Amino acid sequence: MSQYALNLLVVGASFALYIGIALWARAGSTSEFYAANRGVSPVMNGMATAADWMSAASFISMAGLIATVGYVNSSYLMGWTGGYVLLALLLAPYLRKFGKYTVPDFIGDRFYSSGARLVAVLCLIIISVTYVIGQMTGAGVAFSRFLEVDVTTGLLIGAAVVFVYAVLGGMKGITYTQVAQYIALIVAYTIPAIFISLQLTGNPVPPLGLFSEHTASGQPLLDRLDQVVTDLGFGAYTGMSGSTLNMVLFTLSLMIGTAGLPHVIIRFFTVPKVSDARLSAGWALVFIALLYLTAPAVGAMARLNLLSTIYPEGPQAAALLHEERPNWMRTWEATGLLSWEDKNGDGRIQLYNDRNAAFAETAAERGWNGNELTVNNDIIVLANPEIANLPGWVVALIAAGGLAAALSTAAGLLLAISSAISHDLIKRTINPGISEKGELLAARIAMALAIIVATWLGINPPGFAAQVVALAFGLAAATLFPALMMGIFSKRITSEGAIAGMLAGLVFTCLYIFTYLGWFFIPGTNWLENTPENHIFGIAPTAIGSVGALLNFAVAYGVSAVTKAPPADVQDMVESIRIPRGAQAAAPMH
């Protein structure tokens, strides 16, 4: 069977499973559509949460980022996993006890204000739409490579699949589909990693293989990788670079941004009891750890495999002739995600750090005239099985896993958007008298429209979309997380304070990020180059969400201090949320 046929078979079978689950778990009420009727067990919810969280960025991009930069990008692992610790300890059980369906619903009731609810809806939509563009684009990339269709066709196929199981099933259908998607993505991620770890180190456990001996050289794997990359003018793979302050703020921004992401938070509204919300977060961490502990090994081993392919006898020997390149390179060149330019006319593939001025003399001695190979970070995981010459069925698994990661997160984001529109805007603001049947119909229409808009944005992304992946985390950190924390742990924060704080965080974060896109104040500055001299106090836009959060807290407390205290019933409600009754049933649904 050809590789294409095998990919089609495995991906088609996974899609058939997702649609079958959706038909079986079709939502028949708003409770099922918004919160799966509060009937999901902690283990199942933990698995669904892991799939909801591990997006195309985690599955496709994270190992590529680590492979390219090394130790410094471990911030992603620390920030994203740390966010779930914050969720488990500070948010999930209390929000579940409050008994609402959505994040804006909690903010609107806690701050006794439709204005606060509307600001929360605005923040939620901006965060979710920004995030979902990346998921749709990731699905298009995976489709274009493995099913040999153009990116637009791939996006339309993925959107159609999401349309069926999200519109029909709502949270109920999405939950059980995400359980299946988690199994698909974790199997697809770990099996190639096990094979590659065995090849390079003889150790079948990738996280342990990362610290094992490299079989071919006899050196520790990371020592061998450090030697290879420094011989090519790159910084040591295990070395530290950049501002420590920026790294700390970036990690913090990812942590509190993760804890404030609405599509993650709503997963904890689906369990029967308050104690189950905390258990769900714990199980989610376990399931996420299976991939996140493997990602550093995948990144390091993929970088070493790539460089060993190009320099079979080491960086100081002759590079690979382009005409002798392996089939996997030919395949990825056809996608445009890998390209070669023969700058010195020797027909060989030179890959080195041509931006390192100190290495220029060495490069000249070797006859190099500039880096000739461009490799998109996103192909590292997808190409890993082919780089290591693994069986065709493993390549097909990667295809199914990558698509599962992109579609599972897209579905969660789209549900957050549609719930905010149907429940918070229509039900709670515009038409409070709408029937449950009417609200369910509105939710399905909102979901369908959200899918259409997300697909259109995936096909025609705004100019900044690919550049501001951090915008979703920065905005969640600067807007929703502080509002939720103050709503739970402070009786004194008023509606005026909450609104002012969220708006301050929103405006400040957007201004800082778009300034470095050249939209404001400093035309032409590109923050992706991450040049510290262009950053205020050395803080990159990717890390600014944590500063926005501090501003949100400060403004909210300042405004609350000069405005009338919240009503007594609201203060009593806040007090009751914090009473430790974790084992008891949560508040009734509203």
pLDDT value for 322: 94
Pairwise CA distance, residues 575 & 581, whole Å: 12
DSSP for 21-59, please give it: HHHHT---SHHHHHHGGG---HHHHHHHHHHHHS-HIII
Q: Are residues 351 and 441 in the same domain?
A: no
pLDDT surpassing 50 at residue 570: yes
In the structure, what pLDDT confidence band is assigned to residue 333 with cuts at 50, 70 and 90? Answer: confident
- Exposure class string for 438-454: b at 16+ Cβ within 10 A, else e: ebbebbbebbeebbeeb
**Position 219 in a domain:** yes
Regarding whether 147 and 296 lie in a shared domain, the answer is yes
Provide the pairing of β-strand 373-375 with 338-340.
Answer: antiparallel
Answer yes or no: do 142 and 228 share one domain.
yes
* 548 found inside a domain: no
From 404, 429, 460, give the residue that closes a domain: 460
Same-domain pairing of 444 and 408: yes
Structural domain contains residue 575: no
Nearest to 225 by CA among 214, 241, 215, 209: 214
> What percentage of the chain carries pLDDT values higher than 70?
92
Backbone dihedral region of 2: left (phi > 0), alpha (psi from -120 to 50 degrees) or beta?
Answer: beta
| 295 and 317 inside one domain | no
Note the pLDDT of residue 146: 72
DSSP state, residue 391: -
Q: Is 537 exposed, middle or buried (0-12, 13-18, 19+ CB in 10 A)?
A: exposed
Bridge partners (DSSP) of residue 220 are 213
Tens-place pLDDT, residues 164-201? 888 888 898 889 999 998 998 899 899 889 999 999 99
Backbone angles phi, psi at 374, to 5 degrees: -115, 125
Residue 79's nearest CA partner among 297, 244, 294, 248 is 248
**Residue 328 counted as domain residue:** yes
- Bridge partners, residue 585, by sequence: 273
Nearest to residue 36, comparing CAs of 280, 260, 261, 272? 272
Average pLDDT over residues 411-435: 91
Q: Is residue 318 part of a domain?
A: yes
Q: Which residues pair with 334 in a beta bridge?
A: none
**Within a domain: 53:** yes
Model confidence pLDDT, tens digit, residues 454-500: 888 878 776 444 445 667 888 999 999 999 999 999 999 999 999 99
For residue 79, the enclosing domain spans 3-301+389-460
Q: Where are the alpha helices (DSSP H) in 353-435?
A: 360-365, 379-387, 392-419
Distance (Å, whole) CA 232 – CA 182:
38
Q: Are residues 70 and 215 in the same domain?
A: yes
CATH code: domain of residue 278: 1.20.1730.10
Same domain, 210 and 343: no
pTM of the predicted model, to two decimals?
0.85
Q: What count of Cα atoms within 13 Å lies in the side-chain half-sphere of residue 100?
A: 23
Of the three residues 412, 435, 460, the one that is the final residue of a domain is 460
Note the residue count of the chain.
Answer: 590
Rounded Cα gap, residues 468 and 575, in angstroms: 38
Closest CA to 51 of 154, 176, 169, 238: 176
474 exposure class (CB count in 10 Å sphere: 0-12, 13-18, 19+): buried
Whether residue 264 is found in the same domain as residue 139: yes
Residue 347 has pLDDT above 90, yes or no: yes
Q: Name the average pLDDT for the chain.
A: 86
Summarised one tens digit per residue, pLDDT across range 430-461 is: 999 999 999 999 999 998 998 898 888 878 77
Q: Can you tell me the distance from the alpha carbon of 251 to that of 480, in angstroms, rounded to the nearest whole number?
A: 17
Question: Which residues, 6+ apart, have CB-to-CB distance to 178 below 8 Å?
Answer: 47, 48, 51, 52, 408, 411, 412
Q: Which residue has the higher pLDDT, 374 or 241?
A: 374
Residues 329 and 211 in one domain: no
Q: Are residues 282 and 207 in the same domain?
A: yes
Q: Which two tokens stand for residue 451?
A: 């899918």
For residue 100, tell me if it sits in a domain: yes
Q: 429, 444, 460 — which closes off a domain?
A: 460
Q: Do 37 and 181 reside in the same domain of the chain?
A: yes
Q: Could you tell me if residue 121 is inside a domain?
A: yes
Mark whether 331 and 284 lie in a shared domain.
no
Average pLDDT, integer, range 358-374: 90
C-alpha closest to that of 401 among 165, 1, 5, 58: 58
Number of domains into which the chain is organized: 2
Measured in degrees and rounded to the nearest 5, phi and psi for residue 534 equal -95, 0
Query: Average pLDDT, stretch 290-318?
Result: 91
